[in-house]
Amino acid sequence: MTPAARISAAIEVLQDIVERRRPASDSLKDWGLSRRFAGSKDRAAIASLVYDALRRKASSGYAMASETPRALVLGMLAGLRGLGVAEIAELCSGENHAPEPLSDDETALLTAFSVEGAPEWVQADVPEWLWPSFRAGLGEVAIAEGEALAARAPIDLRVNRLKAGRDAVLNDLAHLEPEQGPWSPDALRFQPGHDGRGPSLQTEPGFFAGAFEIQDEGSQLVTLLAGARPGQTVIDLCAGAGGKTLALAALMANRGSLYATDLDSRRLAPLHDRLARSGAGIVEVRIPRSRGHEPFADIAGQVDLVLVDAPCTGSGTWRRNPDAKWRVRPGALAERIKDQAEVLARAARLVKPGGRIAYITCSVLPEENDEAIRAFLAKHASFSAIAPIDVLRGAESDFSLLARFATTHGLQLSPRRTGTDGFYLACLTRNA
């Protein structure tokens, strides 16, 4: 496919997303299945165009005075990819599956492309209804934070301490030009290419050997700061596919007892193969028999650390899931806040006196972060928040520079602040 034909395809996929109100991944999959002539590079390029258009949906729609799929793609080509009007016009020839030629209005809007004077939520490419919360959480730099969350994300990996060291993996992957992560001692980073794609790390021998796992450095950081130690009893209460479970096993040096569970047992399915590859031998997966069943009733009140990777809106991961921010609705935020209160209350019943709860979200919204902790502490007098500076002091490495990102109760990471996804961590201790 020509570059112009790929742009036409991206407009078509976006039209399907709008009309059927479905995730971008589903529309892209259906498009590829119905057009077998498109090769893997074509499909990847079209996906990159679609996701880039969604990253800048608000700002492109404002600058182009329209939110049609065509307007969003044209605006993205100008605003994100930096193409000039002449370059865009050349791609829009109307020939050989190319988009129709630019209209006079489109040419004028692309020539004057700007979001100057637009509402703040437009400049930040954040849903309008979420902007008050977003700004409350990130303050005066909220527009810049939104712009960072609308950029492409790098690909990070976590070196598996149980099987390899960072220098060895760095050498093994030298042909892919990795960088050392700026924060985590186990992180390597790969920048996305011009088309938004990164290297195929999951085809590397080291991946199959369990030497590393794909994991954002922010996710690595909050897991490391949770405070797991060798020999402890630890529960990953919302384990999902197990990324943090695997990181915990490595931090515990395969000594102690580590349990993983999730209310949605289907999310745990990938964990079993990942455990076998990683060499983590201390993990026991427990699946609840029903929503009200507690699979850890036998060790309630005896656990050193309960890690709560709480269900949330995912606002901190918009770089990786740009369509998610436009699909989230106010009712979803209210539901997530309820879920967070429930899972924190459950963790409180499991942790022992002197033990710790590490509460984590991939969100930058205060309702899901500091306010969730404040509400929990108001109902659980036997718990207190560990000061963020003390959380950092207790880490195995010097993370003192992260202290500037402290909130009332925790730490808030973000693409602009730390170059990571927008993770939040607060640690609580049971006093009695």
pLDDT digits (tens, 9 = 90+) for 70-122: 999 999 999 999 999 999 999 999 998 999 999 999 999 999 999 999 999 99
Residues 244, 358, single domain; the answer is yes
Torsion 223-224-225-229 (CA) sign: positive
Mean confidence (pLDDT) of the chain: 94
Cα–Cα distance, 349 to 227 (Å, whole number) = 19
Instruction: Tell me how crowded residue 168 is: count the other CB atoms within 10 A of its CB.
Output: 13
Residue 427 falls in the annotated catalytic set: no
pLDDT for 192 equals 84
Higher pLDDT, 372 or 264: 372
Residue 190 located in a structural domain: no
Q: How confident is the model over 168-182, as pLDDT tens digits?
A: 999 999 999 999 999
| Boundary (domain end) residue, out of 70, 102, 118 | 118
Residues 109, 256, single domain; the answer is no
Among residues of the chain, what percentage have pLDDT more than 70?
100
> For residue 365, what are the domain limits?
217-430
| Boundary (domain end) residue, out of 82, 102, 118 | 118
Residue 170 located in a structural domain: no
Residue 90 located in a structural domain: yes
Residue 32 located in a structural domain: yes
pLDDT for 195 equals 67
Residues 231, 111, single domain; the answer is no
pLDDT for 211 equals 97
247-259: buried (b, 16+ CB within 10 Å) or exposed (e) per residue?
bbbbbbebebbbb
Q: Which residue among the candidates 92, 238, 312, 362 is catalytic per the annotation? A: 362
Output the six-digit token pair for 340. Answer: 């967070």
Q: Report which listed range, 197-206, 262-271, 333-342, is most confident.
A: 333-342
> Are the CB atoms for 88 and 109 separated by under 8 Å?
no
Residue 240 located in a structural domain: yes
Is the pLDDT assigned to residue 197 strictly greater than 80? no
Cα–Cα distance, 244 to 259 (Å, whole number) = 11
Q: Which of 38-47, 355-364, 405-414 has the lowest mean pLDDT?
A: 38-47
| Boundary (domain end) residue, out of 118, 153, 170 | 118
- The CATH number covering residue 378 comes to 3.40.50.150
Nearest of 183, 188, 198 to residue 165 by alpha carbon:
188
pLDDT for 96 equals 87
Residues 264, 396, single domain; the answer is yes
Cα–Cα distance, 253 to 237 (Å, whole number) = 20
Residue 44 located in a structural domain: yes
Higher pLDDT, 252 or 22: 252
Residues 253, 389, single domain; the answer is yes
Output the six-digit token pair for 392. Answer: 């950092």
Residues 275, 409, single domain; the answer is yes
> Are the CB atoms for 131 and 99 separated by under 8 Å?
no
Residues 263, 388, single domain; the answer is yes
Is the pLDDT assigned to residue 274 strictly greater than 90? yes
Question: One-letter amino acid identity for 74?
Answer: L
Known binding-site residues for S-adenosyl-L-methionine equal 262, 309
Cα–Cα distance, 78 to 72 (Å, whole number) = 10
Residue 176 located in a structural domain: no
Phi-psi region of 301 (alpha: psi -120 to 50; beta: other; left: phi over 0): left
Residues 113, 236, single domain; the answer is no
Question: In which residue are the tokens 């209210």 written?
Answer: 334
Residue 148 located in a structural domain: no
Please count the structural domains in the chain: 2
- The CATH number covering residue 40 comes to 1.10.940
**What is the dihedral angle through the alpha carbons of 263, 267, 269, 274, rounded to the nearest 10 degrees?**
-110
Is the pLDDT assigned to residue 208 strictly greater than 70? yes
DSSP string, 47-75: HHHHHHHHHTHHHHHHHTT--SHHHHHHH
396 — pLDDT class (breaks 50, 70, 90): confident
